[in-house]
Structure 1
């Protein structure tokens, strides 16, 4: 079962309603099958417990034990298998004894008897002479019986290790099983496939999603031409789950549907149920609520085991809890009934890691609406169960969740004690993905008790833990999957708020404050792409301003719950700190109104009023400092929704900010070292699409040809790709032809808070931001010169997406260009031509990029036809302003 990738889609539900989606991953391994002694007689058939003669041989007892196991009669299966162990031991048949012990381990696992399961599997491996090194196996073992039993035993051991939270050990075990299956020959390719799928699951549980995806894509490709099989069902479901994790939702839905159809043809109820559960999660990620509920109901209806059934019901419940305030939902009926149904089944869940997480997440799901004593009882029981099976990860999670209940009840000291226990365990097992939550929780508790210094230290630790989760682990481990806006962003903002109210100092540590906000912005970009997208080749902007750009000031606005903070960096001066007392809701409303009225034809007065309001909060407190410093360029590092408005259009009551200063945007305190655009050899690759592809609902851009021609006439050496020549393949090839300093793309595009919805149009379809990244950076293989300036002249932010400008920042970072010029909304074709003409003419005269942008905007502002902000304000320069 795959967890929700809420961060990329910004679905608003909290961690308490997210972690539950992770639970069924324990069942996405190919179901462990009984290890069997290979038959020498091919006519031997499976014997059930209904045979007319009592089972007396180890082989017959194994078959009887398997039949009991498959029918869910685990206690009886254990009795039969223990008899098989005794008889084979008496007969000196080590191979039969090993097989019986392996199957005994598998059966003990189903009952949550982890010590017995581990003891049985280890005894089996000792009998087989396994020392963990397949290079030292006895290759002279009789035929292949030994290797076959060993490979099966390692498969079952890998499943046991994963269910106990030992994903890294499970990965190694599955790799060893794969090697042994390969030694047995091509006729055992099914075993190889099973082991590789199990490796992919172990990688996924460890957070290595890309590696997991690579394995599963290869396996699924190989299985496409093969007949329907359990392996095919599991591989496709596993692939769909990882695609869901990676934000490839349409691909996820397609592969999961194929997995379901095969499982239905093979009549495999457990596989059908698990895949329905995965389909429900993908549908939910796609905001297909009713579809998700239907899949959850189907999963619960056909589930042959209580764990999958309850997981599906909890997922359904979480939707009802999420929507409990909606008029069309009757929480008192539907929610209460479902809660009662789930509660009545908790006792039937296995005492294994998946079962424990199911109980925990049920408690967390009802934390806001359930009885606190009942919730605490479930969590306290989960703590004991986690101790029983030796899962420290589950124990930490249960303790921290129990602490959260005490926190909600304002029992600060009890909550703190439990949180510290949970944190100690998480730190001991190096689980940063869990530790950051308890560090954050501890910070909240200490703050509530007035211990600000210790609270700051706890928040510092939480931020450090989050930063350690970058790179391949950026998606964060399965059990603690989070919604970025609910469970990560608040840590940074609450930390900043504490730092600014820190006592015992004359002034707060402003440098630490802005670096904390920078860390948030980098985390947002990482989260946008689901990978650590920034390398370490950065420079602190302060040094650039103090040493080389004495006419530049840097603005750091920070939106907090009850105020708007501004930190200003002027050349060779200490940081300046100003506060506007205004709550977040008021700021967000003003930003929304500014964005809405700027594009309305008859709302100029309303626009100026709201624009002046934001000006008064952001700029007015430092007006005199800016004027006295003599700066000419303002570089903004906008926070949150401030990215969505054009700062150049802030109004002071008489004139706009662009009439006073050149303006640029930076995605953080650090970026590639700003350097002046190379005017002496300014050359451009100019691509354009006047007629969008037929399947795209975008209007034609008839003036694209004029726009590209004007670039050439401005004195810029230009290579042009127009219409049918403007394809992704041609663009990739051409960009390597010579060291272009400028890449200008006059085509429709869209910026979104979702990477998959951020793209530009080419004649052969959409070029996604990830593809654009790969395309532009392909030049690095043959060219060392970076693209100095990327211009996207007909793009727009996605309608209704109040964080869409994050996509613009993502493009700016991933394109590898020093600076990116783009528009927040699509402008009229005619005004774009005027703007582009002036922009390039100014560039060729030696102006900085920010100054050239300002001059082009002022030209439109001075034109009575285009003087409304609608026409000149949307252009945004991100990155290098020189």
Structure 2
């Protein structure tokens, strides 16, 4: 609403133009608009609407000075803020007073007047508390925490960060989820507060023996809050995820939980075993670490034989620091809670120069220990539903346009070279224009000739299996089977795709796409499967949020474990792996160990010795059998 008719509308319009000019990097033009807006605002009557315009003006002035300090005189910014503060106090508006003081603190920080800036933040917090303005208080406390950190006041910094995180937690249900370039609003704007608190807690734990355990536990819970929020953002709603306290008692013998946390100058490892929590830190620049992770992931997806160097580098960062502890405590299974881009790579494929991690440890991926439900049960006995698609039907008409084009031949050289050469499972992403002119070519591109062999091999390992193959694997037939039968294992050998959001993730049946929402509704809460196997699914290339889709299935559908793949996988190698995986399950081997043993079998085959063939499959979910 305008402050007073046409002059207020003019001021608002000019401020809008100034903001647009900044977005377009036209800083001189923005500065001229802001000076005009300041003159217009001065003529308005003193009321709350004028204060809103004054605060908008002050904010834009501050932003402009960040990019071009000389374009706008300091006096103009100070005048705008001082007038806004004066008017807010006169009208007894605590929220607007807090905003004005907060902006003044920002201005003083820009000028290097840190002590005065901190004092203004304290005043802003006082008025923000009067209005219970948590959205403002979280930023004020966060800024105060950074000030105390820069001035080596660790305890004061931790206290401020704790308050900031407390405000975020209180507001989480009301903060909308938005995305830009595949990244969520939480990850870009709020997760750094949690990470900065965790860094302080780790640092204090090293120098405070009497509080060491408590501080590490708080750091662990802080990291867990990030994991939970990332899953909520993946679902694009504030759903209530199952959560419970964590302690060492929940881990079976021989099992350890590993939390890597990436910071700008180092990677920290939090290790939970029966002996308690331990903390390790390795210096490495974040840019260097991310480059190594992305290089390794790209080489693995491309079936590039030259992958062992980045695999060895990552081993030094993630496993070598904890190797002695793992050996001394006879650890044979790692529950791995990866951080950000580390979700793109399989831990089992890391290499010490002689052995892969999978040769010594079974691995279970978890979105967070507090998000899991209970210790998993055995899948040695029970009914198995096998659903396979070697030749898709009408479902290809429902595939997203961005995927269809990548399945058609291009100018002379196949854009699916890996699919052609290795019989790979999984849909390769392409961004060319959509061409649906050849349904037959698309269906041929999606053929999985070894699926029938895979289904037959698995059936021999189960006395109670039901099979849906090709035309019998319709969406309705699958739905009926899942809803009306208490299957312990549901095995789907069909193309599927996990993108950066739940809405863009799906599995193919013969006639229709099976969405994640639909899959969730199918599983009766009283007879949810212990294990869901997705033997031909993949995650989106280069998007470190995509693997959350596998975790999302586990959490939302309340399946105890999900076995899925990180990239398109060899058809023949998958059939071999699945045959032995189920053979070990039948013998009563725990799921993670059964997967490890099956991967070792595949590794022994000369043609599948490279890690790209045996390591894509990851087990996500609960610990135990």
TM-score normalised according to structure 1 size: 0.59
Please list, as runs of the form range in 1=range in 2, the aligned pairs for 1:47-58 lying within 5 A after superposition. Answer: none
Work out the CA distance in 2 between the residues paired with 1:812 and 1:845.
Answer: 24
Equivalence for 1:337: 29
State whether residues 603 and 614 of structure 2, in contact with CA within 8 Å, keep that contact through their aligned partners in structure 1. yes
Secondary structure of the equivalent of 1:368? helix
TM superposition shift of 1:390: 5.3
Q: Structure 2: how far apart are the matches of 1:314 and 1:721?
A: 61
- 2:10 corresponds, among 302, 306, 310, to 306
| Greater Rg by CA | 1
Q: Report what 1:754 is aligned to.
A: 501
Change (3 A) 1:464 1:842: same
Distance 1:313 1:623, change over 3 A: same
Mapped partners of 1:716, 1:316: distance in 2: 67
- CA change 1:583–1:724 in 2 (3 A) is same
Superposed, 1:259-278 pairs within 5 Å as none
Aligned position for 2:197: 495
Shift of 1:854: 0.7
Residue aligning to 2:361: 661
Report the Cα offset of residue 466 of structure 1. 1.4
- Whole-Å separation in 2 of the counterparts to 1:385 and 1:719: 74
Cα 1:426–1:643 change in 2 (3 A) is same
In structure 2, relative to structure 1, the CA distance for the partners of 1:504 and 1:621 (3 Å cut) is closer
> Displacement of 1:868 after TM fit?
0.9
Shift of 1:822: 0.8
Alpha-carbon contact 1:776-1:816 (below 8 Å) kept: no
User: 1:684 is paired with a residue of what secondary structure?
Assistant: strand
Cα shift at 1:728: 4.5
Q: Which runs of 5+ in 2 are unaligned?
A: 179-183, 405-426, 428-444
Quick one: which of 363, 373, 381 aligns to 1:680?
381
Is 1:637 the counterpart of 2:337 in the alignment? Answer: yes
Contact between 1:556 and 1:637, CA under 8 Å: does it hold in 2? yes
Q: CA deviation at 1:863?
A: 1.0
* Residue correspondence of structure 1 range 48-127 to structure 2 within 5 A: 110-111=3-4
Cα distance in 1 for partners of 2:187, 2:243 equals: 28
| Alignment: residue pair count | 558
Give, in whole Å, the separation in 1 of the partners of 2:55 and 2:470. 54
* Structure holding more helix per residue: 1
Matched, 1:860 2:602: yes
2:423 is aligned to none
* Alpha-carbon distance change, 432 to 568 in structure 1, aligned in 2, over 3 angstroms: same
**After superposition, what is the alpha-carbon deviation per residue over 1:400-430, rounded to whole angstroms, capped at 9, x for unaligned?**
2332232233322211122122222333322
C-alpha contact (below 8 Å) 1:356/1:394 kept by paired residues: no
Structure 1: state its 5+ residue gaps: 1-26, 28-108, 113-269, 271-302, 322-333
Contact 1:727-1:763 within 8 A present in 2 as well: yes
Aligned 8 A contact 1:552 1:570 in 2: yes
Q: What is the match of residue 464 of structure 2?
A: 717
Tell me if 1:369 matches 2:67.
yes
Cα distance in structure 2, aligned partners of 1:742 and 1:612: 35
Give the direction of change, closer, same or farther, for the CA distance of 1:375–1:716 in structure 2 (3 Å limit).
farther
Q: Is the CA contact 1:474–1:531 (under 8 Å) kept in the aligned structure 2? A: no
Q: Secondary structure at the match of 1:674?
A: coil
Once residues 380 and 361 of structure 1 are traced to their aligned partners in structure 2, the CA distance between those partners, rounded to angstroms, is: 13
TM-score relative to the length of structure 2:
0.82
Match of 1:812 in 2: 554
2:352 is the counterpart of 1:610: no
Pick the structure with more strand per residue. 2
Provide the C-alpha distance between the structure 2 equivalents of 1:364 and 1:863, rounded to a whole number of angstroms. 63
* Other-structure match for 1:458: 160
Distance 1:757 1:335, change over 3 A: farther
**Bigger RCO of structures 1 and 2 (CA < 8 A, at least 6 apart):** 2
2: distance between equivalents of 1:494 and 1:445? 12
Q: Does the CA contact (< 8 Å) of 1:534 and 1:813 recur in 2? A: no
SS at match of 2:537: strand
CA–CA distance in 1 between the matches of 2:224 and 2:230?
A: 10
Alpha-carbon distance, 1:310 to partner: 4.0
Q: Deviations over 1:781-817 (max 9, x none)?
A: xxx1322112222222212324332333333322221
SS for the counterpart of 1:460 is helix
What secondary structure, in the 3-state scheme, does the structure 1 residue paired with 2:331 have? coil
Q: Note closer, same or farther for the CA distance 1:314–1:578 as it changes in structure 2 (3 Å cut).
A: same
**How much does 1:616 deviate?**
1.1
- Quickly say closer, same or farther: Cα 1:806–1:376, change in 2 above 3 A: farther
Q: 1:700 to 1:390 in 2, by over 3 A?
A: farther
* Matched-pair contact (CA < 8 Å) for 1:760–1:767: yes
1:406 corresponds to: 108
Q: Is the 8 A contact 2:105 2:118 kept in 1?
A: yes
Q: Give 3-state SS (helix, strand or coil) of 2:608's partner.
A: coil
Contact preservation (8 Å) 1:752, 1:798? yes
Number of the residue aligned with 2:447? 701
Native 8 Å contact 2:532 2:559 kept in 1: yes
- Equivalent residue in structure 2 for 1:419, among 117, 121, 130: 121
